[in-house]
Structure 1
């Protein structure tokens, strides 16, 4: 399975949506649902191999001098979230076919939401921290466009800007944490980092890098004290709220913490930052 093609085909279709919508009109949303349904089926077929621990790692050199590669990794965790993104995406596109049929600028809406879907798939399949950050920021940008889709409403514009500023700030903090983590471990590849948890936790930079990465996860998942942007985000059309803010985008922070737990977890700082002990 070519993981980069899975991500790339979603972005490719996204840029075709304005032309497809002009040709097919109101039924275009139902057609778009075929793509996530197909990807869900292809990913589901990998389940037996993943259960047998035959993980998939694929990489393309991007900036090798900076140790930045466009690399992807499919294991049990990334497969779970990829199935969530494509499975819920199928249902949301079917619903959007009905909900958006009388909306103007349907093609623009489908472009935005497919851009988001491709970014989320890239995020959960990324094996390189900088690649993960790139897709992380595309989700923030596409979310901004979707929340402000009804741009004639001042409330929608304000909610979109607030969400972008909060999640964008968190993303930059997370990038700083990733740079520290990569420098401490000597690699930005998650498959390498998973072998170096003890080295990272023994570093003097452990506390700042954890706090910076947690800031990114908390802002994206609308966790306290960054929770206030989420209610305003419901200014978006209902399919957006169902897909982004209930099923997928707010799960990105959960995915990040689950992915990094073997590397950063097991310390008092990590434990008390994520869960207070029962009295």
Structure 2
């Protein structure tokens, strides 16, 4: 079994869902970013979703865009990102680590070369935010070559054909989007997407983790009650970083509390 399969098997046995925080690698500096990632893991994150900073992240709201800008100012590069990711994997052998990125970043590195770097760094999955499943063939071929799970977004308006494609080509997990638009805690997740979760299960898609606008424990509970295997929180996590840039100790303490609180909600709901 791969790391995602082991995780979901454990969670099923424990009757709880996954809590997955998202942060961009290198925000606000490579050194502090590594401590942030360590804090997320050691506070109980079930898996990580990490971004490689990108100059034009179209799916991201202002919170994550600003985090990318901070990371660039802090000196992050793609090569430094992979170095850090390899270091995270060296310290934490079992946690699933996914990347959430954009196609231009992959093209710039060369598709095959990019996935080779992912494999070398111990990455489990890659989600390319601006490539829907129907246009993803060249990426999925490379992903499978290097044993990287291709993750696909299931949008709130997905029809049966899209869901069947996700079930056919997706591995690891399915990123279930709570609502249309960009990420951000200023836009709360919509009501649970029970009908989509039922369809994803019916067609045999990888377990669905709900993201976009997940900022509070009750939303985690709602997602899991509806049938999601977990919840991803990006903007709410990054906001804690943003609000504590002048006080790293407080930042890490608040991040730890946030992860613990959100994780607790994954079992309260079952």
Q: TM-score w.r.t. structure 1 length?
A: 0.27
Structure with bigger strand share is 2
Q: TM-score w.r.t. structure 2 length?
A: 0.28
- Does 1 or 2 have the higher relative contact order (CA < 8 Å, sep 6+)? 2
Q: Please say which structure displays the higher CA radius of gyration.
A: 1
